Structure 1
Amino acid sequence: MLSHLIFAGLVALAAALPTADLEACPAPMPCASYTLMNTRGTTEPQGESLGFTAINANVSAARPGGKIIINQIHSTLATNADECFILEGYSQGATATVDALGNLTDAAFAAVKGVFLIGDPVHKAGLACNVDMAGGNSTFDVDGVFIAAGLKTGIPSDWVPKTLDVCNYGDGICDTKHGDGITIEHIEYIMDEGVHKLGAEFILKQLKGGSAF
């Protein structure tokens, strides 16, 4: 079963990672309190999604104070209207995350500062949020498996400006033009330092009040 998971041990993980790439990320943030929520892929074990371990360690190192809890956005906002959220999804977890976006309106929409997706089956060609693992455009015009099959409609238009949808060239789950099914490219996000840096910089920018690049 897919579930939202909040990561534990982020500060400890951050201590083991280089900090040079974080120096360009400004420390002051308007979000005094934030929650990182992710949905893991179908075959990933219970616990933290491997696709986001290093990314969230980088975020936590640059901006401590993230809540290590599992919580629904609406219930959290009922007690803390100033809470900020970052949503993350890998593979089928990206589909579950995108499916939820349409139900997050008004205060919930405003509270979610960013959505970071990797290996997304509902990656839709031509959206401004589409990038490859290097932040380039080699997968800008490709569709994921659920879009190609006509099963999903993709990221809602009002969410595109605050989303980064990373698709590795040749990943048959998000790039049906250059890949077929679960290819090696579908698991390369986990170990790719460029993706970790890309994700951390995006999340920190969104928490500061920026928009997708």
Structure 2
Amino acid sequence: MVQIQNLALALAAGTAVSGAAIERQSACSSYTIIDTRGTGELQGPSAGFRTMNSQIQQQMSGGKVYNTMYPADFSQISTEGTNDIVDHVQSTLQSNPDECFILEGYSQGAAATTNALPKLTGASFDAVKGVFLIGNPEHRSGKACNVDTNGGDTTKNVNGLSATLGGIPDNWVSKTLDVCNYGDGVCDTTHGFGINAQHLAYPTNSNVQQMGAKFALKQLQGGN
């Protein structure tokens, strides 16, 4: 009986150790934030995520930012951006299969990111730990990932200007926060019209920046 009890204790201890090891492995030791800027922003980091990304990198080592390459012009044709996001994830995984990713997009950049999601499958889907969008023209009513700038549901059931063209795929909803400011006419056509003050307010909204940083850190640390 004593031997059986000792064996049970040993097995239990082994299970605990294995569980802890799995939990540690689920956190990302190396990660890339793919930053996709909005219409009219110059090539480089988007103003919509500078504070957020600074907070993430200060609190978690091993990170780098990749700025999506595409025109981001007023034609609103973001295909190059979508392709660049997909290509960067896939090419990075070829050289570093353990790399993790956070995707983020502002305005047209959010649309480019949304359109990349169906193309990120298999290992690419697994490697992307979180998607954080602001002012998304493809914001689609009723999605569980829809939140306002306070993390509430005042913009859960509104549509963006291009909602009929896309929207967050169902299998990505649990990995995504699609943030729409109440009255932002790009993502909330019920209460606003076009690019307005609400659409331009995300970069200086401390709630949004803190929400994004907290969400990304949780996902990178195995919260997904």
Under TM normalisation by the shorter chain, which class is it? 0.7 to 0.9
Q: Which amino acid aligns with 1:83?
A: E
What SS is found at the alignment partner of 2:209?
helix
Q: Which amino acid aligns with 1:47?
A: G
Correspondent of 1:115 among 131, 141, 144: 131
Correspondent of 2:45 among 43, 48, 60: 48
What SS is found at the alignment partner of 1:186?
helix
**1-structure distance, mates of 2:145, 2:107:** 16
Correspondent of 1:146 among 152, 162, 181: 162
Partner of 2:78: none
Partner of 1:208: 221
Moved over 2 A (4+): 67-71
- Shift in Å at residue 65 of structure 1? 1.6
- The total of aligned residue pairs comes to 181
**2-structure distance, mates of 1:181, 1:46:** 23
Q: Which amino acid aligns with 1:43?
A: G
* Residue pairs, 1:6-17, within 5 angstroms: none
Alpha-carbon spacing, 1:69–1:172, altered in 2? closer, same or farther (3 Å): closer
- Shift in Å at residue 43 of structure 1? 1.0
Please tell me whether residue 189 in structure 1 is matched to residue 202 in structure 2: yes
**1-structure distance, mates of 2:108, 2:222:** 28
Alpha-carbon spacing, 1:142–1:82, altered in 2? closer, same or farther (3 Å): same
Correspondent of 2:147 among 122, 131, 142: 131
**2-structure distance, mates of 1:36, 1:153:** 22
Q: Deviations over 1:41-65 (max 9, x none)?
A: 0111221100000000000010022
- Shift in Å at residue 153 of structure 1? 2.7
Q: Which amino acid aligns with 1:126?
A: G
Correspondent of 2:112 among 63, 72, 96: 96
**2-structure distance, mates of 1:47, 1:163:** 23
Larger Rg: 2
Partner of 1:165: 178
CA RMSD in angstroms comes to: 1.4
- Shift in Å at residue 69 of structure 1? 4.9
**1-structure distance, mates of 2:206, 2:27:** 27
**2-structure distance, mates of 1:94, 1:153:** 11
Structure 2 length-normalised TM? 0.78
- Shift in Å at residue 204 of structure 1? 0.4
What SS is found at the alignment partner of 2:187?
coil
Structure with a larger share of its residues in helix: 2
What SS is found at the alignment partner of 2:64?
coil
What SS is found at the alignment partner of 2:119?
coil
Correspondent of 2:60 among 58, 63, 67: 63
Q: Deviations over 1:117-160 (max 9, x none)?
A: 0000000111010000010111010000001xx3x131111011
**2-structure distance, mates of 1:177, 1:68:** 34
What 5-or-longer segments of structure 1 have no aligned partner? 1-27
Q: Which amino acid aligns with 2:198?
A: E
Q: Which amino acid aligns with 1:193?
A: S
Structure 1 length-normalised TM? 0.82
